[in-house]
């Protein structure tokens, strides 16, 4: 057993308190190596490269090019537990599962469930687990919730974003997008010599943290940038990365500009930020600023985008943008992650009968 908090550098209690049904045991979880994916740290370098290679092999299927689906996960049941709003991630996992022949069942412990009759969240989860799901894909506002679920469920747990802690499949799909953009193989040192600038709200988001962990492991040179309240020096120190004084400095010579949205839903009430136009002028990726990137430099954004704030329309929709490609590659990554969670190799996914 270990505390679920330590790696995020953020006190989860300050993000959202756990519901009474879950209670004090929430802060701890059990690590089950091999198939759960709660944090980037659950994958060592070899497992990371293997997963990226598997995802890459699955891209044609994810993109709907060629075969439309395979049955490698036929009979598998995936529980989709999204306790926070989501478009891309929820549907991406669902599409990934369906493309491999698995079935997906959604659940929310809300007024439409037996929560309305006084059932606790924990009882509801144990009942669902008794139905024999193979894996649970979990999005929740509470840091460490997926890891805690590992101590409660027989089903394998896949983190689809927990509070400000981690979003491991987002980082994996970002890495796959960068590998593809620069023609790199998914091997140790894959990102050697590439400079990645992660810009915007790293403090109140989870995408930046997962990426700082993963991209560094793969050899990238990392720099963060943003207003001090969103990209603080402590975070740069915690991750051992550079902190640029302004956006222009961060972008100069960068091969990748990863733009992050201000996480307004998590900002402390007393935090004062510039209005959107002033933020865009200081910290927005504009067409003029794109010229600072290294030759062939690309733009990433995990979505949802706030156009005209952290990114200009012409950049989001322009030739350097890999934003929609991230979405396609995200399905491939989630196929590989779900196959791993269900104990099925990528090789089997590719060999299994086409439907
Ligand atoms: N979709 C990503 C997440 O769930 C990024 C964001 O919401 O800004 O963390």
pLDDT in tens, 277-309: 999 999 999 999 999 999 999 999 999 999 999
Helix H or strand E segment including 78: strand 77-82
pLDDT exceeds cutoff 90 at 131: yes
pTM flag (> 0.85): yes
Q: Do the beta carbons of residue 310 and residue 262 sit within 8 Å?
A: yes
Q: How far apart (Å, rounded) are the C-alpha atoms in residues 346 and 300?
A: 26
Provide, rounded to the nearest whole percent, the portion of the chain with pLDDT above 90: 84
Per-residue pLDDT band for 261 (boundaries 50, 70, 90) equals very high
Instruction: Work out which ligand 1 atom sits closest to the CA atom of 302.
Output: 5
Tokens of 156: 């394998």
Q: Do the beta carbons of residue 221 and residue 196 sit within 8 Å?
A: yes
Q: Do the beta carbons of residue 39 and residue 166 sit within 8 Å?
A: yes
Summary mean pLDDT of the chain? 91
Instruction: Work out which ligand 1 atom sits closest to the CA atom of 160.
Output: 4
Instruction: Work out which ligand 1 atom sits closest to the CA atom of 260.
Output: 8
pLDDT exceeds cutoff 70 at 10: no
Q: Which residue out of 145, 164, 205 has the highest number of ligand 1 atoms within 8 Å of its CB and is therefore the one to mutate?
A: 205
Q: Do the beta carbons of residue 39 and residue 147 sit within 8 Å?
A: yes
Pocket of ligand 1 (CB under 6 A): 161, 167, 205-207, 261, 302-303
Q: Do the beta carbons of residue 292 and residue 254 sit within 8 Å?
A: yes
Query: Which residue's CA is minimally distant from atom 8 of ligand 1?
Result: 261
Burial class (CB in 10 A: 0-12, 13-18, 19+), 131: exposed
Give 35-51 pLDDT, tens digit per residue. 999 999 999 999 999 99
Among the listed residues 303, 6, 301, the one whose alpha carbon sits nearest the alpha carbon of residue 143: 6
The domains found in the chain, sorted by start residue, are 2-167+329-351 (3.40.50.1370), 168-327 (3.40.50.1370)
Angstrom distances, CA of residue 181 to CA of 225, 296, 299, 354: 22, 8, 10, 29
Distance (Å) from CA 303 to ligand 1 centroid: 6
Paired residues of 225 in beta bridges:
199
Per-residue pLDDT band for 345 (boundaries 50, 70, 90) equals confident
């Amino acid at each position: 057993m270990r505390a679920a908090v330590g790696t995020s550098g953020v006190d989860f209690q300050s993000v959202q308190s756990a519901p009474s049904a879950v209670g004090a045991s929430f802060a701890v979880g059990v690590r089950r190596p091999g198939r759960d994916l709660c944090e980037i740290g659950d994958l060592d370098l070899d497992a990371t490269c293997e997963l990226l290679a598997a995802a890459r092999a699955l891209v044609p299927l994810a993109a709907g090019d060629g075969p439309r689906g395979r049955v490698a996960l036929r009979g598998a049941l995936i529980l989709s537990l999204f306790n926070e709003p989501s478009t891309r991630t929820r549907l991406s996992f669902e599409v990934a599962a369906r493309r491999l022949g698995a079935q997906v069942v959604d659940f929310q412990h809300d007024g439409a469930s037996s929560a309305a009759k006084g059932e606790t969240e924990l009882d509801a989860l144990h009942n669902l687990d008794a139905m024999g799901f193979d894996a649970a894909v979990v999005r929740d506002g509470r840091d460490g919730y997926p890891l805690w679920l590992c101590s409660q469920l027989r089903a394998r747990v896949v983190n689809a974003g927990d509070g400000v802690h981690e979003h491991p499949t987002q980082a994996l799909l970002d890495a796959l997008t960068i590998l593809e953009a620069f023609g790199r193989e998914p091997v140790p040192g894959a990102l050697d010599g590439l400079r990645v600038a992660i810009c915007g709200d790293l403090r109140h988001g989870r995408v930046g943290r997962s990426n700082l962990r993963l991209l560094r492991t793969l050899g990238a040179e990392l720099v963060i940038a943003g207003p001090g309240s969103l990209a603080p020096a402590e975070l740069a120190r915690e991750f051992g990365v550079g902190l640029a004084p302004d956006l222009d400095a961060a972008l100069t010579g960068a091969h990748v500009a990863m733009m992050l949205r201000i996480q307004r839903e998590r900002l402390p009430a007393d935090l004062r930020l510039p209005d959107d136009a002033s933020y865009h002028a200081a910290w927005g990726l504009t067409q003029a600023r794109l010229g600072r990137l290294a030759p062939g430099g690309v733009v990433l954004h995990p979505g949802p985008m706030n156009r005209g704030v952290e990114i200009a329309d012409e950049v989001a929709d322009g030739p350097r943008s890999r934003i929609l490609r991230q979405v396609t590659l995200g399905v491939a990554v989630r196929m590989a992650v779900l196959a791993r969670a269900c104990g099925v190799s990528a090789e089997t996914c590719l060999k299994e009968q086409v439907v």
